[in-house]
Amino acid sequence: MIINNPNILDNNYNIINQETNIINNKNNNIINQEDNILISQNFTNKQSKNSFSEKKNEQNKKVIPLFQNIQNIQNEENEENIISTTKISNSKKENSESIIYKFTIEDDSKEEIFVTGSNEKISNWNTSNAIILSSKRINNKYYYEKKITLSKNDFPFEYKFFKKKNNNVEWLGIPFQNNKVDMNEYEKIKNDYKDTSKISLIDFNIRYENFFDGINNWNNRKRKIIKLFKKYNSDIIFFQEITSNQFNYLFNNLKSNYIFLGDYRDNSKNSEKCEIIYNKNKFDLISNGQFWLSSHPDIPYSNDFNNIFPRICTWCSLKFLNGKKILLFNTHLDHVNINAHFPSVKIILKKIKEISNNFNSEYDLIILGGCFYCDEDDNIINEILNFGFIKIDFEKSFHNFTGIGISHWDYIFYYNKSLFNIKNTNVLKNESVIDSGKNVFISDHFPIFAEFGN
């Protein structure tokens, strides 16, 4: 399933349908004579009277969206499985096993966005009766969402987002390709929806895209990274050192299940993010933000602790569908100026106290994670523990592309009301290996994994 594509759909397509005869008339209308379909170049439903005057039983013809019967075009950078088209039968009886399905998409501007698809609950491809999504501003983008209650018999289905421009339909996403949802997605959402007893989290310094990494360059690492995250299907992932190219790849391949939160630390060309992504089927977003590790944390790009780069902390508060709330913080301290570590952590703890309303009881779990560039006996670790957090013990996670742990740089701390306890922890060493003989790994850090349970 594809929730969003950062590329905007070009309205001027040249369409080739290899399965049906297509006639392109002088008005740039495309008529599929076999299925009695008229598709204009502007994707409107205006019909040519001359072309259809001789058609019999016109009132019974079925309107099929532009994107059916056209060969799927898959983005080279998108490795999600494309599911074959399946027709939905209207004769199926309603099934009592209902779930809440979230239709979500991001966009750079605030406009009305609609969804329609091959299901009567999403207007059966009728753009006139399509469902409008609600919007929320997240960082510098707008996040659109609509929750629909669906039964098991509503699956599988296809859908597409669109905007209306001057009474014309502007489809969003990959050209000529519908978003497809299969029965596996139903089962996954059903399980996520019911399972509020545990939370799984991976913290991962992904290693920024560096030309000088040789055989460990990003192109050699990225596919294995996606396989790891799809294997673990973690509820929450903390990323550090994500550059724009890396972000685009991760977003394209994980967006079907995750919402991405975070902004760049500055406006430089090679800027990085501390990204938080979460399972959109398990949580609702309450609020989110980002602050800078400086004496003026709410001023973007501020840096007065003499860090090599401006340093940031990304945060969000999430709510389970059963009402439980959690608060998350992801940071990345400076890798050179260790003297900046202590004041940076003091800012983080001050903001945690502020955002949580002095550890207000509304939050069942507060998690702080990230790359701290220090060993376990460092004074900043003691400062965090004295604040009330509990440190999860991990083996050394930084290995510098050797496969052998060198330093404890990656940490997960938590603060709770005894509703969640640690059920499982792991340093994902084996999953990090691409080629042990050549010392090729997914990063110079091992991802660390923690599972919390009631």
From first to last of its 454 residues, the chain has per-residue pLDDT tens of: 333 333 333 333 333 333 333 333 433 443 333 333 333 333 334 344 444 334 434 433 333 444 433 333 334 344 433 222 333 333 344 445 788 888 988 888 889 999 999 999 999 999 999 999 999 887 677 889 998 999 999 999 999 999 998 889 999 988 888 999 999 888 888 777 666 678 999 999 999 999 899 999 999 999 999 999 999 999 999 999 999 999 999 999 998 889 999 999 998 878 999 999 999 888 999 999 999 999 999 999 999 999 999 999 999 999 987 788 999 999 999 999 999 999 999 999 999 999 998 877 788 899 999 999 999 989 999 999 999 999 999 999 999 999 999 999 999 999 986 667 888 999 999 999 999 888 899 999 999 999 998 7
Question: Candidates 3.40.50.2300, 3.40.1390.10, 3.60.10.10, 1.20.1440.230; correct CATH number of 195-453?
Answer: 3.60.10.10
Contacts of 418 (CB under 8 A, 6+ apart): none
Can you give the residue ranges of every domain in the chain? 1-193, 195-453
How do beta strands 157-165 and 114-117 pair? antiparallel
Q: CA–CA separation, 218 vs 222, rounded Å?
A: 6
How many beta carbons lie within 10 A of that of residue 96, not counting itself?
8
Tokens of 324: 């439980």
CA 109 remoteness from chain centre? 18
CB 32 within 8 A of CB 23: no
Q: pTM, whole model, 2 decimals?
A: 0.72
| Residues 234, 140: Cα–Cα separation, whole Å | 26
Half-sphere exposure of 327 (CA within 13 A, CB side): 21
What is the CATH number that goes with domain 1-193? 2.60.40.10
Secondary structure element (H or E) that encloses residue 227, with its range? helix 218-232
Token code pair at residue 39: 């598709």
Six-digit token string for 193? 């929806």
Strand partners, 289: 315
